[in-house]
Amino acid sequence: MRLILLGPPGAGKGTQALRLVGKYGIVQLSTGDMLRAAVRTGTPVGRQTQEIMARGGLVPDNVVVGIVGQRIDEPDARKGFILDGFPRTVPQAAALDRLLETKGLGLDGVIELRVDEDALMRRIESRVAEMKARGETLREDDSPEVLHNRLRAYREQTAPLIAYYRQKGLLRTVNGMAPIADVTAAIDKLLPADRPLGGSAAGKKKSEELSP
């Protein structure tokens, strides 16, 4: 099973990805996590991307495509993976298509978590406030200004992927504003244990919109 979770920051991609990991025994590949690890350990990629990430911009396509290309070759990704935070631009999606094609692999589906931006902003602000109250360490890019930049990057550069994958017949949309368990249930309905969504990367099915 090879899936993409699509949605703006704070839509709950990470939470749902973890549930899918448990259900299908596949790995979660979060480019955000990989880049943060690179920053923490001070690799050349980390040094190149730290400042861009801190202000909520997107790091160059070739950097993330390189990271993902290496990661999906690792043994634990052989059974399948769920991409969380990648692709984020149309060129990244095209590069992923080429990458999978050279390996004779396809995508099983793209799940869009659709959320209302204003409600999302309030949700993120209250999550940040709760974390602060508990004395937890916040991500550097969780400040309101940076969040605005991240949302803008999503709107301008990532949202076009919705049409990209709809056109390929791979897109399925769920209501990301529903309670977490309901979102999981809606995704479950889209992913029967033994049948992929689109059949293949070139799947011909029309996209469907499902509310939990």
Q: Determine the Cα–Cα distance for residues 121 and 154; give it in Å rounded to an integer.
A: 13
Q: Which is nearer to ligand AMP, 88 or 168 (CB)?
A: 88
How does 165-176 read in b/e, with b if 16+ C-beta sit within 10 Å?
A: bbebbbbbbbbb
Task: Please select the residue that binds ligand AMP; options are 7, 8, 12, 56, rule is CB under 6 A.
Answer: 56
> Which position has the token pair 């479950």?
188
Residue 5 half-sphere exposure, CB side, CA atoms within 13 Å?
Answer: 31
Report the residue from 32, 169, 176, 198 that binds ligand AMP according to the rule CB under 6 A.
32
Nearer to ligand AMP, 52 or 199 (CB): 52
35 binds ligand AMP (CB under 6 A): yes
Which residues are within 8 A (CB) of 191 and not within 5 positions of it... i.e. 6 or more apart?
1, 3, 20, 24, 109, 197
Among 8, 12, 85, 169, binds ligand AMP (CB under 6 A): 85
With beta carbons less than 8 A apart as the criterion, state whether 32 and 153 touch: no
**What backbone phi and psi angles, to 5 degrees, belong to 206?**
-75, 150
**From 40, 79, 98, 127, active-site residue:** 127
User: Is 36 among the catalytic positions?
Assistant: no
Q: How far apart are CA 203 and CA 108, in angstroms?
A: 9
Task: Name the segment binding ligand AMP (CB under 6 A); options: 83-91, 98-106, 164-172, 178-186.
Answer: 83-91
Nearer to ligand AMP, 83 or 174 (CB): 83
> Does 53 sit near ligand AMP (CB under 6 A)?
yes
**Given the complex with ligand AMP, which of 32 and 195 has the nearer CB atom?**
32
Q: Residues 129-168 vs ligand AMP: string with x where CB under 6 A?
A: ------------x--------x------------------
Which of 57-65, 111-119, 129-137, 159-167 is the region at the interface with ligand AMP (rule: CB under 6 A)?
Answer: 57-65
Across-strand partners of 24? none
Active site residue 139: yes
CA distance 76 to 59: 25
> Among this protein's residues, is 123 annotated catalytic?
no
b/e map 34-49, b = 16+ CB within 10 Å? bbbebbeeeeebbeeb
The residues carrying an active-site annotation are: 13, 88, 127, 139, 150
Could you list the residues that contact ligand AMP (CB under 6 A)?
A: 9, 31-32, 35, 52-53, 56-59, 64, 85-88, 92, 141, 150
